Amino acid sequence: MAHETHDPGHSSVSHVDHAALGEVHEHPSWGTYKWVALILTVITVTEVWIYYVPAFVASRLFVPVLLTMSAIKFAIVVMFYMHLKYDHKLFRALFTGPLAIAIVTMIVLLFLFGHLSIHAG
């Protein structure tokens, strides 16, 4: 399909503007966005499907698999739709720094309130 490709010959105009904004590379093309949307949809459908499989819900894999799929979706949106994969490293630091602090705090709280535990020995 003709609309799936960016014309590289025309990309320089946009590239100068992005550089001024602190971006290192071109944004993805429509084709990439389409595939990202498809992958997000497939992961979401899989998440909901396994929710309705009693044997899987009862297994120890249920929560880790859901968390992994959610993390993949999160990362895909941040990297491709929010363009963090292509953006300046300062933006990456501004996002991942607070996110890491927040996630660590959440895990610590879950340990503190007994939702998570480590059985030693």
Partner 1 sequence: MATSALAGHGHPPTTTGLDHRKVAIWAFIGSECMLFTSLISTYLVYKGRSVNGPFPHEVCNPPQCATQLKPILNIPVTSVSTFVLLMSSLAMVLALAAVENKDKPGWAGTGRWGRALASSKLWLLMTAILGSTFLGFQAFEFTSFVHEGLTIRQNLFGSSFFTLTGFHGAHVTVGVLWLLTLLAIDVRRGLGPKDALLVDISALYWHFVDVVWIAIFTLVYLIR
Q: Is 73 in the site for partner 1 (CB under 8 A)?
A: yes
With binding defined as CB under 8 A, does residue 82 bind partner 1?
yes
CB–CB of 95/29 below 8 Å?
no
Of 31, 42, 53, 57, which one interacts with partner 1 (CB under 8 A)? Answer: 57
Return the SS3 of 47. helix
Whose tokens are 């904004």? That residue is 21
φ, ψ at 93 (rounded to 5°): -65, -40
- Nearest to 95, CA basis, from 77, 72, 107: 77
Query: Toward partner 1, which CB reaches closer, 27 or 119?
Result: 27
Task: Tell me the chain's radius of gyration from C-alpha atoms.
Answer: 20
Q: Which residues bind partner 1 (CB under 8 A)?
A: 1-4, 6-7, 10, 13-14, 16-17, 19-25, 27, 30, 33-34, 36-37, 40-41, 44, 47-48, 51, 57, 62-63, 66-67, 69-70, 73-74, 77-78, 81-82, 88, 90-91, 94-95, 97-99, 101-103, 105-106, 109-110, 113, 115
